[in-house]
Structure 1
Amino acid sequence: MQYRKKKEQIAFEVIEAAIGGDAVAINQIIDYFQPYINSRCRRKFIDESGRTRYGIDEYMKRRMETKLITKILGFQIQL
């Protein structure tokens, strides 16, 4: 049985800064979600010799990161 290493959650202050447009905070959030994004962007490719390989679809990865940034900047915290 494999055990996943649990990541520490993102601090609320970092989330607030990211919503405010802080580039460093946004990059911290993107880094946090990078394993998930990579797992969703994994695709099957066939190389020149006809062998099947798996890799990251960079176009899809950039689209997902852009979508995440858009959602972060549009997020509103309701107290």
Structure 2
Amino acid sequence: MKAKKHREMPEFETIQAAIEGDAEAINQILSHFQPFINSECKREYKDEFGRIHYVTDEYMKRRLETKLITKILDFEIRL
């Protein structure tokens, strides 16, 4: 089993900019969560020889990314 790599969270300023709708900041947050999204969107696929492969379900991946963007834009920071 692979060891999980520690990834740094985006900075507070990046998160704040993403909440305000900055496209570059949203892309940075999406790229941070991309490994998790890819792992959750795996589907089993059998080829013509009966071998099993795991492929990324692109439709599910886009839905998760869209849901994340929606939640980022709806998020409120309470001080």
Q: TM-score, normalised by structure 2?
A: 0.91
- Read off the aligned partner of 2:71 and give its amino acid letter: K
1:57 paired residue number:
57
Secondary structure class of the residue paired with 1:14: helix
Alpha-carbon distance in structure 1 between the residues aligned to 2:38 and 2:11: 23
Tell me the residue number matched to 1:37: 37
User: Where does the alignment leave 5 or more consecutive residues of structure 1 unmatched?
Assistant: none
**1:39-71: per-residue Cα shift (whole Å, max 9, x none)?**
100110122333221110000000000000000
Q: Give how far 1:16 is off.
A: 0.4
State the SS of the aligned residue for 2:50.
coil
- Distance of 1:51 and 1:59 partners within structure 2: 23
Q: How large is the Cα RMSD of the aligned pairs? A: 1.4
What's the CA shift for 1:4? 2.4
Secondary structure in 1 aligned to 2:15? helix
Q: Which residue of 1 aligns with 2:28?
A: 28
Identity rate of aligned residues, in percent?
62
State the aligned residue count: 79
Is 2:11 the partner of 1:11?
yes
* Change beyond 3 A, Cα 1:40–1:15: same
Where does structure 2 lack aligned partners over 5 or more consecutive residues?
none
Runs of 4+ in 1 over 3 A off after TM superposition: none
